[in-house]
Structure 1
Amino acid sequence: MKILHVVSSLNMGGAEQFVVDITAAMNQQSGIQAEILSFGRADDALCQHCGKHDITVHHLSQAGRLQQLVQLRRLVRRYDAVHIHSSHCVASLLVSTLFLSGCRLYYTRHNTVIHRSGKWRLIYRLASIRLSKIVFIAEIARQDFLQAYPVFQEKSTLIYNGIRPVRLDPVVKATDRGVIRLGQVGRFVPLKAQKLLIQALHRLSPKQRQGFELHFFGDGPLLDDCRHQAESLQQDMGITFHGLEMDKSRIYQSIDVLVVTSETEGLSLVMLEALSAGCLVIATKVGGNEEIIEHGRSGLLYHYPKVQELAQCLTYVLTDARWRDLALAGNRRFDLMFEQERCVSSYLTIYRS
C-alpha cells in the first residue's frame, strides 16, 4: 500500500512533527510505503529530519496555480491513500482529484478551529462527497465540528495522536536537586501564553518560589518579552531559557512538571511526551487537554487564563508529595491510550476499510 501524507509545510510544529514520525513508523510496517507532500519549502526545518529517516518528501514547483494542480493530480494518482493534515491543503486536493478514480482521500483535523465562511462551506460540501474519512484527534473537537457540519457524521472517526515514548535515564531523572523543576516547551507566541506561568509565580511568596526552578524550551517572537517579565523572579529561583531543543530526552530529563498555558489545543504532543517521560502535567482546561488529563487523577487542569488557579496548582505541587502519584498515573494513561503503535494501527485500519 502506498500512502501520501500531505502538510502545508515542514516547519517546526506539533502536527508537522507528528506527520514525520507517523510516516517513519508506517514505513516500518510490512507492505507499506509512506511518503510526504509538503506545500512548503525544501529547506523547512523538518526536511532534514525526514532525510535522516529516509522519508521521501515531495514539493510542488513554483509554477502557476493551474500548473500546480496538474502536478498535484499526477502525483496523487500514484497512491492508494492520500491523507491531508492541514486545512490549507484541503481545497487543492479536492480540486486536483476530481473524477480521479482509485484515489482515496482522508483528512485529519489537528486543531479545533471551525471554518464557517461561505468559501469553507463550499469546500466542506465537496469534501463531504470526496473524503473517505475525516479524522478527529479529540472527541470534543469532533462534536463541535459535527454541530456545524452534521453531514460528516457517518464519515467521522476519532483517533488519538500517538507518539513513541520519550526514554530517560532513570538514575539522572531520580536525582534529588532539592527543588521541583517546572518546564514549558513550545514557541513563544501569543497562543502559548507563557506569560501566565510567570504571572502565577509572581503570586507566590519568595519562599515558595525558592522551591522551584523554571526551564523554558523554544524560540519565537515573544521570547525577549518573556525574558524581561521573568527577570524579577530570578532573585528567588533559577530560570533558564534553553532555546530550541530537538533532543526530547534532554528536555524531559531537565524537568519534573510540564506546565501548559495555551489558550487552545488540539491534542498536545508536548503533553503526551511529558506523560511518557513520567512528568506531572499541569494544563489549561481547553480543547483536547481534558481527554489527555483527568484532573486530580492523572494530572492537574485549570481554567484559561486564571492565573490564581495556576498558582494554586503550583502550591499543591510544592506542599503535597502526592503529586508524584499523579505523574505515575499520567504515565500509565499514556501507555493505555497514546502509544504510537496504537495510532498507526488505527490509521492503517481505516485505509484498508
Structure 2
Amino acid sequence: MPERKRILIVIDSMEVAGSQRQVQHLLAGLDRQRWEPELAFFRTDSFLAQAVRDSGIPVHYLPKRRRMDLRFLLDYARLLRERDYALVHAYSLTAELWTLPAQILARRRPVLVASERSSQRRDRPAWYWWLKRLVLGRSAAVIANSSAGAQSTASRTGMPDALFTTIVNDVDLPEPLDAPTRTAVRESIGAPEGRLLGLFVGRLAPVKNLPCLIRALAQLASAQRPWIALAGNGPLTGSLQDLAQECGVAADVTFLGERADATRLMLAADFLVLPSHMEGLSNALLEAMAARCPVIASAVGGSVELIDDGRTGLLFPSDDAAALAVAMARLSDPSLRDALLRAARTYVEKHHSQAALVAATSAVYERCLRAMPAGAQVFAHGAGK
C-alpha cells in the first residue's frame, strides 16, 4: 500500500457558502488510509469548520487582519514548514497567492493544486487575470467545478486546457419531511398558509442579483405572488429591504439571515430561485434538486450545465425580471413542480454523489504527485511523513 501523504486544503474563509461546504464534504470523504488531510483558513469561522474539527481532522485558523499581513504570512510559512505537506489544494485566489511566498519562506515546495470556483468572471480587472496566470503557472493542476469556469479561465489566462480538470460539486440526498414537520418549518419562518413559498439561499451580494428577484415579484399581481424567504447575510441586506419597500412587496419578502438549516428550508419550500449574474456550479441549486425542491435559475455559467430547462428546472435570461416573473407564475402548477422535482432528484442521484467528488479529486492528487519530477521539492524533506 502507498505511504500516507499529508495534504492541506486551504481557503481564505470558512463562511457558510458553497465552496466551504464542498471543502467540508471533501475532507470528510478522503480515504484516511491514503491521505492525512488538514484544513487551514484565514478568516470567518463557522459550523462548517467545526464539523471538520469534530471529525478529528486538524484545523488551522491563521488570522489575516489586513490585505498585506506579514505576521499572517510568517504564520502560514511556519505551518508549511512544521507540517511538511506533500500537496496543498488552494480553494481561492487569496489562498493560492499567499501559498507562493509562504512556500519560499518555509523552504518547502508541496505540490500546488489550484481551483476555479466561478464562471466567466466578466467583472474581474486585468490585474486579476495576471495574478491568476501567475498562480496557475506554478500549479500542477486546476480543479474547476464547471466546464464554463474552466474554459473561461483557460482562455483569459492563456493556460492550456490540459491543466484543468472539471469535477462537479457533490450533494447530500435528504429524505423528505413528513407533512406535520414541513408545516412546522414553514410556520417557524412566518410563511403564510396557502401561499407558495419561494426560497433563496446564499450571500446577499451583488453577484446574486437579488434586485432582479424583487422586481420580478413586483410584476406579479398580489394574488399570484409567492412569499419569498431570503436565507443568508451580505452587504446588500439594507438596500434589498429598501428596494422591496419601494416596489411595494415588503410584505412578500422576509430576510432570515444566515441559517444552518438550509436543507430543511429547501425540503419545506415550494421552489428555490437563483437569479445570479454569474455562477460556477451552484451548491444551492444542487442541494435544492436533491431535496426535491423545484429550481428556477438565470441561464448563466454552470447553471446551464446543471439544469435541463423544462425538465429538471426552469431557466430564464440573466437579469430579465419579466421572464423570472413568468417562471415563478408557472410554478403555481403543482403538476409541473412535481415533474421537475422528480427529474431533478434522479439527475443528482446519478451524477453528484460525495463518492464521485472524492474519487475524482483523489485521482488528481495522485496524478500530480506521480508527475512531480525528481528534485521538484528541493526544500522538502520527507513531505507527508
Which TM-score bucket, shorter chain as reference?
Answer: 0.7 to 0.9
Q: Residue 189 of structure 1 aligns to which amino acid in structure 2?
A: A
Q: CA deviation at 1:139?
A: 0.6
Give the corresponding residue for 1:161. Answer: 169
CA 1:334–1:182 in structure 2 vs 1: closer, same or farther (change >3 Å)? same
Report matched runs for 1:87-126 at 5 Å. 87-97=93-103, 103-112=110-119, 113=121, 117=126, 120-121=129-130, 124-125=133-134
Structure 1 residue 96: deviation in Å?
3.5
* Contact kept in structure 1, 2:18 and 2:283, CA below 8 Å: yes
Report the number of matched residues.
345
1:57 to 36, 56, 59: 59
CA shift, 1:318, in A, is 2.0
Which amino acid is the alignment partner of residue 104 of structure 1? V
Output the CA distance in 1 between the equivalents of 2:244 and 2:23.
Answer: 34
Q: Give 3-state SS (helix, strand or coil) of 2:223's partner.
A: helix
- For residues 108-147 of structure 1, what are the structure 2 equivalents within 5 Å? 108-112=115-119, 113=121, 117=126, 120-121=129-130, 124-125=133-134, 127-128=136-137, 130-147=138-155
What is the rounded CA distance, in whole Å, between the counterparts of 1:345 and 1:93 in structure 2?
25
- For the residue of structure 1 that corresponds to 2:13, the secondary structure is coil
Work out the CA distance in 2 between the residues paired with 1:10 and 1:85: 11
1:330–1:173: structure 2 CA closer, same or farther, 3 Å change rule? farther
In structure 1, what is the equivalent of residue 88 of structure 2? 82
Tell me if structure 2 keeps the 8 A contact 1:252–1:279.
yes
- Give 2:14's aligned amino acid: L
Query: Which residue of the other structure, out of 333, 343, 352, is the alignment partner of 2:347?
Result: 333
Q: Deviations over 1:233-263 (max 9, x none)?
A: 366x5x4432221023321133120011111
Higher relative contact order (CA 8 A, sep 6+): 2
Stretches of structure 2 that go unaligned for 5 or more consecutive residues are 65-69, 187-192, 368-385
Q: CA contact under 8 A between 1:72 and 1:96: conserved in structure 2?
A: no
CA positional deviation for 1:39? 2.5
Pairing of 1:92-241 with structure 2 (within 5 A): 92-97=98-103, 103-112=110-119, 113=121, 117=126, 120-121=129-130, 124-125=133-134, 127-128=136-137, 130-172=138-180, 178-209=194-225, 212-231=226-245, 232-233=248-249, 239-241=253-255
Deviation per CA, 1:156-178: give whole Å up to 9, x if none: 11111112223432445887964
Cα distance change, pair 297–16 in 1 and its aligned pair in 2 (3 A): same
Give the superposition deviation at 1:79. 2.2
Cα shift at 1:106: 0.7
- CA distance in 1 between partners of 2:334 and 2:46 (Å): 44
- The farther-off stretch of 91-100 and 296-305 is 91-100
Cα distance change on mapping 1:241 and 1:149 into 2, 3 Å: closer
1: CA distance, partners of 2:346 / 2:298: 21
Residues in 1 aligned to 2:263 and 2:366: alpha-carbon distance in whole angstroms: 35
Deviations 1:44-86 (CA, angstroms, capped at 9, x unpaired): 664434333333111347754763464254046x223210101
Q: Which moved more, 1:175-184 or 1:114-123?
A: 114-123
For residue 283 of structure 1, report the CA deviation from its aligned partner.
Answer: 0.3
Q: For 1:266 and 1:73, how far apart are their aligned partners in 2? A: 30
Check conservation: 1:173, 1:253, Cα contact below 8 A: no
The DSSP-based 3-state class of the residue aligned with 2:358 is helix
Cα displacement (A) at 1:101:
7.4
Give the counterpart letter for 1:144 in structure 2: S
For residues 293 and 255 of structure 2, the distance between their equivalents in structure 1, rounded to whole angstroms, comes to: 19
Question: Is the CA contact 2:6–2:87 (under 8 Å) kept in the aligned structure 1?
Answer: yes
Give the superposition deviation at 1:35. Answer: 1.0
| % identical equivalent positions | 26
* TM-score, length basis structure 1: 0.86
1:21 paired residue number? 25
CA 1:327 to 1:26, structure 2 compared with 1: closer, same or farther past 3 Å? Answer: same
| Aligned equivalents of 2:214, 2:109: Cα separation in 1 | 53
1:32 to 14, 35, 41: 35
Query: Which letter does structure 1 place at the counterpart of 2:235?
Result: P
TM (norm. structure 2) is: 0.79
Residue by residue, what CA displacement relative to the aligned partner does 1:9-45 show, whole Å, maximum 9, x if unpaired? 2223221222122212226x5433211011236x566
Task: Read off the aligned partner of 1:224 and give its amino acid letter.
Answer: G
Report the counterpart of residue 303 of structure 1 in structure 2.
317
CA distance in 2, matches of 1:194, 1:26: 36
Inter-partner Cα distance in structure 2 for 1:152 and 1:190: 31
SS in 1 for 2:140: strand
Cα distance change on mapping 1:125 and 1:88 into 2, 3 Å: closer
Relative distance call for 1:184 and 1:70 in structure 2 (3 A) is closer
Q: 2:331 aligns with which of 317, 334, 345?
A: 317
Q: Residue 263 of structure 2: SS of its match in structure 1?
A: helix
Deviation at 1:288, TM superposition (A): 0.8
Deviations 1:154-208 (A, max 9, x none): 2211111112223432445887964322111122222222222221121112222
**DSSP-derived class of the 2:197 partner:** strand
* Structure 1, gaps ≥5 residues long: none
